[in-house]
A and B are shown apart, each in its own frame.
Chain A
């Protein structure tokens, strides 16, 4: 299992569009991927799941992946967070 803590840096946090990008990306991997925040654990492949976290800028969030491509999954998702979901140029 691969695990990593990430800080949300895009201004709007995990709102609908960022959540959609994230779930799209997660669906490209075979591993089971979860997001942990505030005591909640949601499937990263579900848009609704991500939305219910209501995670905002400044929050820390944990990505957890388990499966054949777990390390690619975590690093791919981490990259998406780091480039702020391509929202801010």
Chain B
């Protein structure tokens, strides 16, 4: 029995057998063929090609059903490449003239285009190499699967793989037969994540080496709540997990009832819980999570397909659809928060020594104005029902706001002359993530309509601790005196100028920190939609006035542990029932 850790991205717990998905294209070996064997090899290749075309057609159809038209673009362009005579001729020529096996010919052609496109200066061409490699990889897989089919192999198992390309993820999951998914990596897997969540498949990413640690038919426990994987667990552990699964299911049922309650505390203080989403498709689910609208739509996913990021029409349609789906609730769209770890491959940010303090988000886009303008234009244009707000990340100084507002005015004029300007004025907000920005709030009364606190970054920059550095996680703590004091200050400053503030980030979605924020006076929360029901359960069971009294004492403590202990003890004293009965969060 051993344990692996990863990043849980789709909740649930499951026990099952492992199946390792190996990518064939990487391990292709060269075989030299007799002249007489060439026609047979060409036939083998053409069969695999035909199978791949059929597969892709099916995937395309499934994907459109599950995710909507916008998200199937990747498959569409792959399927065009698959019908491209030049690409196919190049492979068959290699088989014929070099007398090599199909796998080798594909590998060589694939490598050629990867190299070719990675050397092109123009950003929008870069990704094409990966598209070609992905699609050719599928042909290779089909070459080796003459007898067994994908469907028979992968059914009622936990899938373990290095990474999943969008097309493989879609084809495996749209059949809905997977119990769980474990990946070594998971950088570019937004498609995987959203499909997994929709279908309720527990999924853990970024395990590092799961494919080495797990072998076929190992029994696995995938705990998509804690991000833990147990390989070949002992019997008593399995029994314990079964109980946990039962409890989890009961818990989920209970939460379903809770989301229907009105959003008020016991003493009638109103609050608002909204969803953070990353993919357009998630807007369909917002209601079922019990969210009052979307408090943060992260648009970085658009960079998966640079052609969406670069086109006004595409973006406009995506934003408009979301706004329509959640009307009359609001959606706050945050402009590209790129740089640091996210999506940098489309931009040359230079080799900065410290990307977290470097050219990112608004800083990057004020340099790359073309893309920034396209996005702002699409957002303003999409605000046909007046329920879209626009949010700018990583604001450092007032000059940035002035520049942005000037760009917005120019775009408004542009839209007016194109007769595409909606009647509604769009509300403009900024993120408070950089501690220094808090001091700007009092000067922004006439500039900014609303504020949004990105707590993860705020903590990172306040404490000079990288948020994902696990050896420093003891420092990265919301109960640090400085964090508490700054959160109080943000609330007070925004209240003074009479502007609303929303808190988004992990602390909004965890019951204890959410209660702390409520006590500070925050009433707008935006969080991972899966956390909404739990926060709502806690909020509807407390009295705002009592929480406020407790939280007001927090600035007296000089350490994170004293604050946290005091908070927990006080809560347990007045609401003993609330925390004890909940084993899951």
Residues of chain A having any CB pair with chain B under 8 Å: 11-13, 15-17, 20, 23, 42-43, 45-49, 51-52, 54, 56, 87, 89
Contact = CB atoms under 8 A, between A and B. Distances in A.
A55 B244 CA distance: 58
A12 B122 CA distance: 9
A20 B370 CA distance: 23
A20 B80 contact: yes
B542 to A, nearest CB: 53
Contacts of A42: 86
A87 B122 contact: no
A52 B129 CA distance: 10
B80 A54 contact: no
B417 interface: no
Interface of B: 77, 80-81, 84-87, 113, 116-117, 120-122, 124-125, 128, 132, 307, 310-311, 313, 370, 418
A42 B128 CA distance: 17
Contacts, number: 52
A47 B80 contact: yes
Contact of A48 (B87, B307, B313): B87
B85 A13 contact: no
Interface of B is mostly: helix
A54 B87 contact: no
Given A13-B122, A15-B124, A20-B80, A49 B86 contact: yes
Contacts of A17: 77, 307
A43 B86 contact: yes
Contacts of B116: 52
A60 to B, nearest CB: 16
Given A47-B84, A52-B116, A54-B120, A15 B77 contact: no
Contacts of B80: 20, 47
A16 B128 contact: yes
Contact of B311 (A23, A52, A87): A87
A20 B77 CA distance: 8
Contacts of A47: 80-81, 84
B86 A12 contact: no
B311 A54 contact: no
Given A46-B87, A48-B86, 13 more contacts: A11-B310, A12-B310, A13-B122, A20-B80, A43-B85, A45-B85, A48-B132, A49-B86, A54-B120, A54-B121, A54-B125, A56-B122, A89-B418
A57 to B, nearest CB: 9
Contacts of B113: 48
Contacts of B87: 46, 48
A14 to B, nearest CB: 9
A76 to B, nearest CB: 20
A35 B131 CA distance: 23
Contacts of B85: 43, 45-46
30 contacts: A11-B310, A12-B124, A12-B310, A13-B122, A13-B124, A15-B122, A15-B125, A20-B77, A23-B84, A42-B86, A43-B85, A43-B86, A46-B84, A46-B86, A47-B81, A47-B84, A48-B86, A48-B87, A48-B132, A49-B84, A51-B117, A51-B125, A52-B116, A54-B120, A54-B121, A54-B122, A56-B122, A87-B311, A89-B313, A89-B418
